[in-house]
Amino acid sequence: MQKNKTYTGVHDLERSRDELVAWRHAMHRQPELAFNEVATARMVADMLAAWGYAVTEGVGTTGVVGTLKSGASTRSIGIRADMDALPFTEQTGLPYASQVEGVMHACGHDGHTTMLLGAAKHLAATRNFSGTVHMIFQPAEEAGIDSGAGRMLADGLFERFPCDVVYALHNHPGKPARTFHFRSGPFMSASDRVTITVKGVGGHAARPHQAIDPIVAAASIVMALQTVVARSVNPTQIAVVTVGTLHGGKAMNVIANEATLGLSVRSFDAEVRTLLQKRITELAKAQAASYGATAEIDYGLGHPVLVNAERETEFARAVAVELVGVENVVGHTEQVTGSEDFALMLRERPGCFVRLGNGAGEKVPMLHTTRYDFNDENLTVGAAYWALLVERYLE
C-alpha cells in the first residue's frame, strides 16, 4: 500500500474526539439488553440518515444497516458493530455510569458502536472511495445461541446488503490501548452450553438408604468432567469444560429428586468439539448410573469457531500498520477462548475479526465485570481505522 495524504489518518478523527466521547457516554448512561436496543437503534438510524446513508431498520429484530455508495465500482464491504449491554449493576462510580438499574455496558459495545458511527460520518463527508459500504449495527451479541448475528443472517443480511468481505472489532482489556491485534485462521472458540439433569429418588435426609441421592451423583459428575480435557483431548489442542452452575434441593433435611448442572464448553477444532460432546454425554450417563440415578443431557451447540480468512486478515493488518505504525500492531496474537457470534457472518463471507487493546496493567477491569469501562482513548483511532479500511478496500 502506498501512502496518500488524502487517505484518513488518526488526526482526521481527533477533531471529532469530543463528539465521539459524548455519543458513547450517552449510550453508556442508557444501556439496553439484547433485542431491546430500541433507543440505541433509533439514535444510530437517525445519525446515519442525517449523513446521507440509505437506512434500513428492524433487520434481525432491532438491527440497523446504513448503506453508502460512492463512485462507479461494484465492490462492497460490510463493517459490523454490536449494540447490546449486559444484565449487570455497574460499580464504576463514573459520572456517566448506567442510569438503568441492573443493566450496564460491561463489554464495550457502546464504544464499538461509537467508533463505527465516527467512521460513518467521516466517510459520508469525504467519500474518498469507490463502491458500497454497509455499516451493520447488530443487536444481541450477548444473547447466546439465539443471537443477533444469526437473526440478521436469517433476515437476509447478505442477500439484501451484498458484501464481498465483512469486518468487525472488539476491545481487549489487558492489551495496550490503541494497539491492534490480528490472527488468521481459528481465532475465537466455539461455545456450547450443556444442561445435565440428574434424576434420583427423593427422601428424608435421615434415611438416605431409602433414596437415590442425585446431588451425590452430580458431585461425582463434576469431578469426572475434569478428566475430559486432561485425558480425552490431544494435549496439542485447546479445549475448556467448565461447570458453571450446580443446583439441587431446597432444604437441608430433604434428599432432592433431581439436581442440575450447567456447563460451558469451548473448542477450536470441529473434531475436538464432536469428541467433547461424546465424552461429556457418555461420562455423565455412566456416572449417574453408577449411583442408581439417570442423567438427561441437553447439549446446545452455540457459536462456531471464529475463523479469520488469511487474505482479509493480512489486508486488515496492513491497514493498521499504515494507520498506527508497525510497533502498535501484533500480526499473530494468541487465540481467545471467548466466543463471538460474528463467527456466523464469517462463515458466509470472508473477513476478519480484529482486537483493539483497551489498556494494560493489573488494575484494568476485564470484560463482563461490574467495574469495566470502554477506553475513550480508542474512539478516534478505532473510527479512523474503519474509515481507512473502507478507503483502502474500495480505492
- Grid coordinates in use for 375? 477506553
pLDDT at 144: 86
CATH number of 10-187+305-393: 3.40.630.10
Express each pLDDT in 211-239 by its tens digit: 999 999 999 999 999 999 999 999 999 99
Express each pLDDT in 16-75 by its tens digit: 999 999 999 999 999 999 999 999 999 999 999 999 999 999 999 999 999 999 999 999
pLDDT at 3: 47
- Chain centroid to Cα 201, Å, comes to 41
Residue 5: pLDDT band (50, 70, 90) is low
pLDDT at 376: 98
Express each pLDDT in 179-202 by its tens digit: 999 999 999 999 999 999 999 999
Read off the pTM. 0.93
Same fold, 10-187+305-393 and 190-301: no
Express each pLDDT in 89-146 by its tens digit: 999 999 999 999 999 999 999 999 999 999 999 999 999 999 999 999 999 999 988 9
**Please, what is the end-to-end C-alpha distance for the chain in angstroms?**
11
Express each pLDDT in 236-261 by its tens digit: 999 999 999 999 999 999 999 999 99
CATH topology of domain 190-301: Alpha-Beta Plaits (3.30.70)
pLDDT at 362: 86
Express each pLDDT in 149-173 by its tens digit: 999 999 999 999 999 999 999 999 9
Domain extent listing, the chain: 10-187+305-393, 190-301
Express each pLDDT in 295-349 by its tens digit: 999 999 999 999 999 999 999 999 999 999 999 999 999 999 999 999 999 999 9
Secondary structure (H, E, C), the chain: CCCCCCCCCHHHHHCCHHHHHHHHHHHHHCCCCCCCCHHHHHHHHHHHHHCCCEEEEEECCCEEEEEEEECCCCCEEEEEEECCCECCCCCCCCCCCCCCCCCECCCCHHHHHHHHHHHHHHHHHHCCCCEEEEEEEECCHHHCCCCHHHHHHHCCHHHHCCCCEEEEEEEECCCCCCCEECCCEEEECEEEEEEEEEECECEECCCHHHCECHHHHHHHHHHHHHHHHHHHCCCCCCEEEEEEEEEECCCCCEECCEEEEEEEEEECCHHHHHHHHHHHHHHHHHHHHHCCCEEEEEEEECCCCEEECHHHHHHHHHHHHHHHCHHHEECCCCCECCCCCHHHHHHHCCEEEEEEECCCCCCCCCCCCCCCCCCCCHHHHHHHHHHHHHHHHCC
Write down the mean pLDDT value for the chain: 97
Q: At what angle do helices 378-393 and 17-29 cross, to 10 degrees?
A: 110
Residue 4: pLDDT band (50, 70, 90) is very low
